């Protein structure tokens, strides 16, 4: 029995790796509907479900269908809607100013020997995400505790083998990471519970716009009604679902943004002429605020895109492929597709450095994204014609935070380059080795000599 169980689990767990942009296009764009779910077993959904015996999906883990659609519409038409980006801009600017202010007051010795930027940028991005999620009333100690648990949860999820398939064998192999994830889910619930209760009380008194401009994410989740499991009725979200969705927002809004900002700064240090050119554009920009960050400053946009092309913060995306979509990935000879779908991993790092698509793909050259460059029409998400890079994914499950993510990275980078000059630390070089993990961070956190402009 055990042997046949393991054989079946192994067959179902066969993973197809896609690094070819043409195959990714065939699968994710031409057969989008057949690749619109992620393999559920990979995610620790079942751990959350152990708590109350039900699946407790967040948006990432939800199967393509009415439940996912309700969650996605709520976020994409609420806080993250492109028309809201203008009103979010002042909050983003405030976060960037706090970041720069904090770095300015660091000791001169630290600045001269080598300043590590990952911590301060993470703190600034997390403070903003917390504000968007819960409003303006979260105190510092509570926010720091949530920051720690978010970071630890991401690390624990990263420890889970990408081949984890929910089988008994893989649970045994991953028992340590699963135990940690389970404990951290409990801690998240403890920390979010009072903030959810405060949002419910706010709702009663019709108060509490964040920054005076918009409804925090948690408030919208309390208002949301999702399809009930039986019939046409709709129901409110359960506490365990709320916790999962809030963690998803805090994690997604922080880690990828920080990873991209750090890589971009690393390249600006490595190529001072690119840094100078960027600084000139930023200084010449009359409106250093919201509109420029969205549609102006082409070189800043190009620097961020080039960084995302070379180092997509989320290195792998996962899908379960069915029908024609499975054949688009596995080839015409694909005969047996498990009921749960063919498991597919798209390697975003390889796709952005494909030699057929890019000249000198290993070189950091933002000019390729400017008018007349080889990639002048390429944006953060692929169009319908071809895929050349896809740092925010592609198809119906692409990242809903692309607009806010791009704007936040640009806002941080513009502030950091306007305010400081960046140079290698006393080691004299920038180590560009990538960390093999859930997020493709710099293996050695960036440390830089920083000189403040007069
Ligand atoms: C530099 C910033 C970011 C990067 C590089 C990034 C990247 C990604 C990628 C690669 C995916 C998977 C897409 C796919 O499977 O096709 C994703 C999904 C997602 N991202 Fe982002 N992301 C970023 C920022 C954000 C922000 C700011 C938020 C929200 C606050 C966010 C929320 C989400 C959510 C909820 C999903 C799941 C969507 C679904 O399954 O429908 N992300 N992101």
Ligand 1 neighbour 255 (Cβ under 6 A): no
Ligand 1 neighbour 341 (Cβ under 6 A): no
Angle at 406 between CA 279 and CA 438, to 5 degrees: 115
CA of 371 to the centre of ligand 1 (A): 28
Angle at 215 between CA 212 and CA 217, to 5 degrees: 135
pTM of the model: 0.92
End-to-end CA distance of the chain: 74
Pocket test for ligand 1, best of 61, 131, 399 (most atoms within 8 A of CB): 399
Q: Are 196 and 241 in contact (CB under 8 A)?
A: no
CA dist., res. 114 & res. 108, Å (int): 10
**Which two three-digit tokens encode residue 408?**
């936040």
**Which two three-digit tokens encode residue 223?**
């208002």
Q: Are 324 and 330 in contact (CB under 8 A)?
A: no
CA of 229 to the centre of ligand 1 (A): 27
Q: How far is CA 207 from CA 13, 196, 215, 303, in A?
A: 49, 14, 9, 40
CA of 164 to the centre of ligand 1 (A): 21
Ligand 1 neighbour 314 (Cβ under 6 A): yes
Ligand 1 atom at minimum distance from 312 CA: 5
* 402-419 and 272-284 helices, crossing angle to 10°: 100
**What's residue 1's pLDDT?**
44
CA of 439 to the centre of ligand 1 (A): 12
Helical H segments across 135-254, by residue range: 140-159, 168-173, 175-205, 217-223, 239-252
Ligand 1 neighbour 380 (Cβ under 6 A): no
CA of 296 to the centre of ligand 1 (A): 23
* 118-134 and 85-104 helices, crossing angle to 10°: 140
Ligand 1 neighbour 392 (Cβ under 6 A): yes
Helix, strand and coil percent figures for the chain, each rounded to 5? 55, 10, 35
Ligand 1 neighbour 257 (Cβ under 6 A): yes
Q: How far is CA 269 from CA 118, 260, 410, in A?
A: 15, 14, 17
* Per-residue pLDDT reduced to its tens digit, 122-170: 999 999 999 999 998 899 999 999 999 999 988 888 777 766 766 778 7
CB atoms within 10 A of CB 55: 17
**What's residue 5's pLDDT?**
46
Q: What is the H or E stretch that residue 409 is in?
A: helix 402-419
CA of 253 to the centre of ligand 1 (A): 8
CA of 399 to the centre of ligand 1 (A): 4
Q: Are 410 and 297 in contact (CB under 8 A)?
A: yes
Ligand 1 atom at minimum distance from 257 CA: 1
Ligand 1 atom 17: the closest Cα is on which residue?
399
Question: Long-range contact list for 41-45, CB < 8 A, 24+ apart?
Answer: 41/164, 41/165, 41/166, 41/167, 41/340, 42/160, 42/162, 42/164, 42/165, 42/166, 42/318, 42/343, 44/157, 44/160, 44/178, 44/181, 44/182, 44/185
Q: Are 78 and 220 in contact (CB under 8 A)?
A: yes
Contacts of 65 (CB under 8 A, 6+ apart): none
CA of 314 to the centre of ligand 1 (A): 8
Ligand 1 atom at minimum distance from 68 CA: 41
State which residues of the chain have pLDDT below 70: 1-14, 40-53, 109, 162-163, 165-166, 204-213, 231, 286-291, 294, 332-335, 454
Report how many helices (DSSP H) and strands (DSSP E) the chain contains, helices first.
Answer: 19, 8
CA dist., res. 251 & res. 247, Å (int): 6
Pocket test for ligand 1, best of 27, 72, 218, 252 (most atoms within 8 A of CB): 252
Q: Are 151 and 164 in contact (CB under 8 A)?
A: no
CA dist., res. 64 & res. 189, Å (int): 26
E strands present in 261-326: 316-321
CA of 391 to the centre of ligand 1 (A): 9
CA dist., res. 242 & res. 273, Å (int): 47
SS3 207: coil
Pocket test for ligand 1, best of 392, 395, 397 (most atoms within 8 A of CB): 392
């Amino acid at each position: 029995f055990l042997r046949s169980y393991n054989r079946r689990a192994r067959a179902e767990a066969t993973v197809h790796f896609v690094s070819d942009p043409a195959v990714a296009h065939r699968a994710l764009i031409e057969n989008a509907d057949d690749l619109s779910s992620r393999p559920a077993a990979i995610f620790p959904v079942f751990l959350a479900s152990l708590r109350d015996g039900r699946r407790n999906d967040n948006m990432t883990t939800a199967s393509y269908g009415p439940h996912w659609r309700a969650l996605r519409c709520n976020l994409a038409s609420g806080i993250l809607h492109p028309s809201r980006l203008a009103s979010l801009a002042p909050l983003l600017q405030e976060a960037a100013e706090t970041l720069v202010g904090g770095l300015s007051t660091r000791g001169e010795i630290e600045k001269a020997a080598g300043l590590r930027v990952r911590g301060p940028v993470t703190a600034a991005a997390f403070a903003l995400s917390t504000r968007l999620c819960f409003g303006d009333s979260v105190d510092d100690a509570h926010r720091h505790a949530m920051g720690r648990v978010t970071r630890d949860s991401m690390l624990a999820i990263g420890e889970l083998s990408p081949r984890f398939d929910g089988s008994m064998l893989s649970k045994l192999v991953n028992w340590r990471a699963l135990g940690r994830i389970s404990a951290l889910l409990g801690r998240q619930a403890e920390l979010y519970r009072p903030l959810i209760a405060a949002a419910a009380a706010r709702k009663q008194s019709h108060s509490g716009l964040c920054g005076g401009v918009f409804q925090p994410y948690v408030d919208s989740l309390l208002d949301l009604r999702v399809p009930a499991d039986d019939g046409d009725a709709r129901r409110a979200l359960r506490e365990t679902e709320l916790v999962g969705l809030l963690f998803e927002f805090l994690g997604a809004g922080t880690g990828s943004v920080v990873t991209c900002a750090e890589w971009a700064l690393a390249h600006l240090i490595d190529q001072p002429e690119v840094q100078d050119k960027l600084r000139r554009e930023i200084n010449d920009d009359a409106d250093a605020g919201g509109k420029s960050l969205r549609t102006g400053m082409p070189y800043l946009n190009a620097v961020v895109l080039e960084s995302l092309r070379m180092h997509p913060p989320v290195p792998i995306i996962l899908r379960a492929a069915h029908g024609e979509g499975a054949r688009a990935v596995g080839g015409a000879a694909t005969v047996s597709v498990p009921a749960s779908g063919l498991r597919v991993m798209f390697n975003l790092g390889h796709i952005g450095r494909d030699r057929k698509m890019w000249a000198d793909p290993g070189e950091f050259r933002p000019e390729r994204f400017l008018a007349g460059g080889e990639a002048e029409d390429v944006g953060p998400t692929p169009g319908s014609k071809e895929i050349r890079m896809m740092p925010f994914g592609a198809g119906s499950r692409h990242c809903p935070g692309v607009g806010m993510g791009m704007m936040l990275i640009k806002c941080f980078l513009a502030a950091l380059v306007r305010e400081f000059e960046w140079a290698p630390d006393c080691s004299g070089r920038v180590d560009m080795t990538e960390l093999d993990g859930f997020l493709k961070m710099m293996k050695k956190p960036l440390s830089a000599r920083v000189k403040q402009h007069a």
